[in-house]
A and B are shown apart, each in its own frame.
Chain A
Amino acid sequence: MIIDKLTIRDGMSTKTFVFSNGFNLITSNGANQVGKTTLIRALLFAMGENVPGTQSFDFQSAKKEFYLDLHSDSSQVKLLRTANTLRLRDGDSRDVVSYVLPLELYEAKSKIWGISNRLVSDNLLGACYIDQDKGWTLLNRGKAIANISFNIEDFVSGLAGLDLANERAEIKKIEQETKRYKFALGAAGYQRDVLENETQPIPSEDSNRDFSRQQQLLMHASYLKKRINAMKAVQKDNKRFAEYIEHLKLRIKDGSREIPVNRENLVGFEDQEKYLEAQVSVLKSNLKETERQIDAIQIALNNDGRLFSPGSDLDVIDRRIAGLKIDSGTLEKGEKELAKQKKAVKKSIASQVTICEPYRFIADTIRDFTERLGIYEAYSKDTHGPLTNNLKNKSGSYYQGLVFAFRLAYAKAIEKYCYLRLPLIIDSPRSGELNRENFAKYMHLLKNQFEGWQIIVASIEPDEIPADHTIEINRSLMEDAEINMNLSTLW
């Protein structure tokens, strides 16, 4: 899939960026913060991804529109992204399909990329985009950008069509349970602090009892308020009913006399109105008494030698936590047991993932790319290969090289198993500890291993980037924008 052009409309201003089928460079000739990253993210945003804008350019603004033209060998697609909506048109067809984002992002991506596997679709960005902030730290699990994640196990099982739903559900359950244990252990630690802190004496038994009573009264007061409102609603309903009857202008006959039907002669209506008024006044009286009791308890609590207010969340938490019976030992044991379970499930996933073909392809590709980048020897020491968890020993330019190799291998895997060449979008490859020599290896790898791919690289300096098309941004993204009132030319 090739990006042909992106047109950004901001109010009446429009600016179009045209891309070539090959190696594109977005550069600012040494100037910082002029809009390279914004343009890169705008491309992704226009594809429907939920990426953030930059400080000076808010994508979600109502007056901004992003028009993106894409093509493949067999199709042409036009996209129009505005805030939370993506509209898609096939070729020259006038039929437009609209998607509400992020709710229908999966459906939109299926249509744009032709990828129907949800796991692949959800991990697509990790395989085609290296962000300048998060991208160069994402190896095989983590954030590609903002809240968009990548997970190698999911990605590979998606490519292989493996069904790991049970394992994933199990992990999710364990993680939720672990969260609860962690919270409880946190509370146990905090309880120790509260109990040990001499400047904050623990409230007496009486205070705890009063506090519980006060909580009950507060709930009762809330119930009474609801009842009062409900009664008022019934009063209104009854009033509307009487108005309806009067509106009908019914008349009844009593001998020769005709009597109009109204609320005064509806049997029992007046009684019912008085009953409801009294009901409200009884409830209000109950509420007043309840609030009086709440205040009285408050005074007692305030006299307990501690500035206590039911409105103070911290005090409420302290009181509750101080009164809890927490067995830290059991909790720690439970947490460890869950960690063990999680490890076992992960092992089961890994054993299924590593025997499937896409995994072997990715592993081979990474090996090839690391060899080309001159870092294979270091990489081969890690026996977990693409599923590595050990990031501690991987640092500096070596780590950046690994990221580059891993991510490009993912793109290759999509080409092989989904028959799709994604545009490769790379932001600021020169950042970090990359020296000139290593950078040249990166570019060489891209040029030789991704021939025929569309590559879009943003870099502050244009030197040593083998681009065949350059987009220059010198002052700002929308520099030299046109005033265009005729939207039909864009869509």
Chain B
Amino acid sequence: MGIPSNTNASSSAFGWQFQTHAALVLMLRDIKDIDSIRVEGATDDIEIYYTDKHVDYAQAKARTTNEPGKGSPQRFKDALHTLAKDAQQKNCLNAIYVTNDVFPLGKSHNDIKFDYDSFLTFSELSPDQQKYITAKLHELLNGESDADSLIATLENHLAIYVMWFYGKDASTRTKATIRAIENFLAAIDPQSVSKYSAKLYSLWTDVLTSNAATLKTDVAVSKSELIWPLIVLLTEVNPNDKFFDTYDDEVVQDVIERYGQIIGETTERYDIISQVLSDFDQYKHDHHGVSKQLREDFTAKNIDQYRSLIGADELDTDEANCITALVVKKIIANRGVIAEIKEKVNLDN
């Protein structure tokens, strides 16, 4: 029996969602080394491209009933068709079978137990499990002249990943995905976990779902596309910002409500950003001290100049100074956040 040439069969809504979530979780496992990701790719359900040009190919097969193990041998066998083909790709790093079934090979081959969030390569499986897989591959590739070579190649690349994805209730079903996002955020900025995990979940699943729906299979979602929205969230203006500590609460509230949009637009204009950052770099070069104090001093000394630059001259003095200080500090802080996140997820490499 040969390897089927087309595996782009349409999935059920559940399977489709599982595939997107699996892609997200697999990506977050290796976010630092990843360049981009494609759901419903040309070769397999999920394709994860690394910066070193290697690729993880993944077949996503979900159980939809409340009986783990039921039907799983058949699902695994079906996945092997495609995974064997994946392993032949020169750039293949892993050919991953990803499922939500804790008995991925069936209940009778459970001597190394799969928990949720388990990622095991072929060599880490029990001899019985390896024997079972090899037998399945022989059965599958029976008659192929280079069957032994194909089997050896797949065994070198094969991995099995089990993740939780089950239940009618959305928060129950997606808890593994949410947890993966929370873990990722905790590594970036522990304070942001509760604030942004739900939003990031929504943003990322939207992006990946729409990528899966794109007919052009060579269109991938870059790491940059996924990380920049996080930077935007982390740099949002909010009244609890420590920048506002020196201002009266009422002024802050008023400024945010009335001038939030202007502040947003001003801190995003390149000509203003460039001028503020350039001035600040020169100031840092000419003065010594801890960075927080330098930022405070720099803002205070230049408040008149920047008030005119952002066009706040006509406002009430307290409000104008509050807005100007916020804009200046925000621009400086944003650069810090951007640099920090880029380094943590290895964005520019």
Contact = CB atoms under 8 A, between A and B. Distances in A.
Interface string B200-220: 001100110000000000000
Interface stretch (A54-62, A272-280, A309-317): A272-280
A450 interface: no
A240 to B, nearest CB: 10
B261 A227 contact: yes
A274 to B, nearest CB: 5
B232 A279 contact: yes
A322 B284 CA distance: 64
Interface in B53-98: none
A238 interface: yes
A121 B228 CA distance: 68
B210 to A, nearest CB: 11
A440 B202 CA distance: 89
B265 interface: yes
Contacts of A289: 202
A275 B228 contact: yes
A285 B202 contact: yes
Interface string B4-46: 0000000000000000000000000000000000000000000
Contacts of A453: none
A250 to B, nearest CB: 14
A245 to B, nearest CB: 10
Nearest to A274: B228
Contacts of A288: 206
A117 B202 CA distance: 70
B277 A268 contact: yes
B268 interface: yes
B173 interface: no
A238 B224 contact: no
A104 B32 CA distance: 72
Nearest to A271: B338
Interface in A276-306: 276-279, 281-282, 285, 288-289
B151 interface: no
A268 B232 contact: no
Given A277-B228, A282-B203, A288-B206, A234 B269 contact: yes
A282 B274 contact: no
Contacts of A226: 261
Contacts of A242: 270
B206 A272 contact: no
Contact of A281 (B203, B277, B338): B203
B274 A268 contact: yes
Contacts of B335: 268
A275 B268 contact: yes
Which applies to chain B's interface (DSSP): helix, strand, loop or mixed? helix
A267 B268 contact: no
A270 to B, nearest CB: 10
A230 interface: yes
Contact of B268 (A266, A276, A282): A276
A231 interface: yes
Contacts of B199: 282, 285
Contacts of A275: 228, 231-232, 268, 334, 338
B203 A285 contact: yes
A491 interface: no
A227 B264 contact: yes
B229 interface: yes
Residue in A238, A269, A271 with the greatest tally of chain B CB atoms within 10 Å: A271
Contacts of B274: 266-269
Given A268-B270, A278-B228, A282-B232, A230 B203 contact: no
Interface string A80-113: 0000000000000000000000000000000000
A278 B273 contact: no
B270 A282 contact: no
Contacts of B315: none
A237 interface: yes
Residue in B207, B224, B232, B271 with the greatest tally of chain A CB atoms within 10 Å: B232
B309 interface: no
Contacts of A227: 261, 264
Contact of B273 (A231, A268, A282, A285): A268
A417 interface: no
B135 interface: no
A221 to B, nearest CB: 15
B112 interface: no
Interface string A206-238: 000000000000000000001100110110011
B273 A241 contact: no
B233 interface: yes
Interface of B: 199, 202-203, 206-207, 224-225, 228-229, 231-233, 261, 264-265, 268-271, 273-274, 277, 334-335, 338
9 contacts: A230-B261, A233-B265, A242-B270, A266-B270, A275-B231, A275-B232, A275-B268, A277-B228, A288-B206
